[in-house]
Amino acid sequence: MPSLFDPFRLGGLTLPNRVVMAPMTRSRAGADGLVTDSVAAYYAQRATAGLLITEGIQPSLRSQSTANTPGLHTSEQVAAWKKVTDAVHAKGGHIFAQIMHAGRVSHPQVTGTVPVGPSAVGVGTPIFATTFGDAPGMQLAPVPRELTAGEVADEIDVYVQAARNAVEAGFDGVELHGANGYLIHQFLSSNANQRTDAYGGSISGRIRFAVEAAQATAEAIGSERVGIRLSPGSQLWGIEEEDVPTLYTTLVEALAPLDLAYLHTVATADEDVLLNMRKLWPGAFIVNPSTVINPLPSGKADGEDWLARGADLISFGRAYLANPDLVERFRADAPLAEAEAETIYHGGDQGYITYPALEH
């Protein structure tokens, strides 16, 4: 059985270990979607991971979900991210940009426009729609405007252009966010997607957007630079999925011929579903053992368990908040520090780049 500390070949990259930093929203960007020097320091601190995957990055203004999240759709944003990738590469690390289109999980107060989605079906819950420093701003997400068939193609192009921008910014690749209730996941859903055209209805229709977005992105920047993240059965942001085993069998079978860099799944479904995805997926398979509803972050034992079940790489999210040297702590069987819950989305350096490494 492979160890978490064994190297792994991922596309054109040789990862020094099998520990992946999972994407996590940290809300440290400016109002213009520009990342800062603190963001560069944050990722550089964690560069001993085999692979870093960034927080979700909006590929267009209207695809932004909540305030203070970063973008990758202007030349200024591309230049700002170059500071991050340079800092990570200087430490010997590898970093993918997660491209996250929020779809209906957005608000005009954030983007200045009505959100879009596969159908005019609202989330039904509030989202954080105010920039830091202002009054608390939980606002009910409005009913989105249904995308026309032509606009669906336009949104695929949004992923493609953001991927090209990511390469220009120095990223080693991109991860399409197809999980956690955002746009790709909304198309997969049986309640958020009420379409009767080629992008809805049957399972083959509901997976079409995900497959076409992945294919177009792979054609644009190379399949070895494109991964996709899924969360089978997840009900985040009001998502429902009928017949999860069949849906994800069909989706993985359709994605497999694209020869993507990896498939990254959250352990949100029954084990049989995840193991079947592993069986069907011919390439690198990343498992995140933890879910947002679990009270504790996953740890070394969870990672070793999934390596034994056939995963190639293990992603850790919450454990990386307060442990920038997570790989070294795992290697030494050292205790993990606990994150300050109140600073996860706080907006400043405290609780972001202030957690010390083990030797301190």
Q: What is the model's pLDDT at position 254? A: 98
What was the pLDDT predicted at 133? 44
User: Considering the domain boundaries, does residue 357 fall inside one?
Assistant: no
**CA 127/CA 115 separation, integer angstroms:** 13
> Does residue 136 lie within any of the structural domains?
yes
- Nearest Cα residue to 133 out of 269, 52, 31, 24: 31
d(CA 338, CA 329): 13
Structure tokens at 199: 């992008």
**Beta strand 145-146 pairing with 173-178:** unpaired
Instruction: Identify the CATH number of the domain in which residue 222 sits.
Output: 3.20.20.70
Determine contact, residues 123/104, Cβ cutoff 8 Å. yes
- Can you give the pTM of this predicted structure? 0.96
> Which of 43, 182, 199, 345 does the annotation list as catalytic?
182
348: which 2 tokens? 């400043």
Q: In sequence order, what are the residues at sequence separation of 6 or more whose Cβ sits closer than 8 angstroms to the Cβ of residue 242? A: 190
Contact indicator for 71, 64 with CB cutoff of 8 Å: yes
Q: Is residue 104 part of a domain?
A: yes
Alpha helix positions (H), 97-235: 108-111, 149-168, 183-188, 203-206, 208-221
Three-state secondary structure call for residue 214: helix
- Within a domain: 359: no
* Torsion angles phi and psi, residue 244, rounded to 5: -55, -45
Print the domain residue range for 331. 8-343
State residue 79's pLDDT score: 98
Residue 356 makes CB contacts below 8 A (sequence gap 6+) with none
The tokens of 338 are what? 């606990």
pLDDT of residue 360: 54
Q: Helix crossing, 149-168 with 208-221: angle to 10°?
A: 30
Q: CB–CB of 337/322 below 8 Å?
A: yes
In a domain, 353, yes or no: no
The verdict on residue 360 lying in a domain is no
Closest CA to 65 of 177, 217, 150: 177
> What is the predicted pLDDT for the residue at 134?
47
Residue 73: inside a domain: yes
Please indicate, yes or no, if residue 98 is contained in any of the structural domains.
Answer: yes
How long is the chain? Answer: 360
**Helix 208-221 vs helix 244-255: crossing angle, to nearest 10:** 20
Q: Can you give the pLDDT of all 360 residues of the chain as single tens digits?
A: 899 999 999 999 999 999 999 999 999 999 899 999 999 999 999 999 999 999 999 999 999 998 899 999 999 999 999 999 999 999 999 999 999 999 999 998 888 899 999 999 999 888 877 654 444 467 888 899 999 999 999 999 999 999 999 999 999 999 999 999 999 999 999 999 999 999 999 999 999 999 999 999 999 999 999 999 999 999 988 899 999 999 999 999 999 999 999 999 999 999 999 999 999 999 999 999 986 556 567 899 999 999 999 999 999 999 999 999 999 999 999 999 999 999 998 779 999 999 999 875
Domains: count for the chain? 1
Q: What is the pLDDT of residue 269?
A: 94
355 is catalytic: no
Of 292, 79, 51, nearest to 175 (Cα)? 51
Q: Which two tokens stand for residue 142?
A: 């409005």
* Residues 197 and 150: beta-carbon distance below 8 Å: no
Rounded Cα distance, 155 and 111, in Å: 16
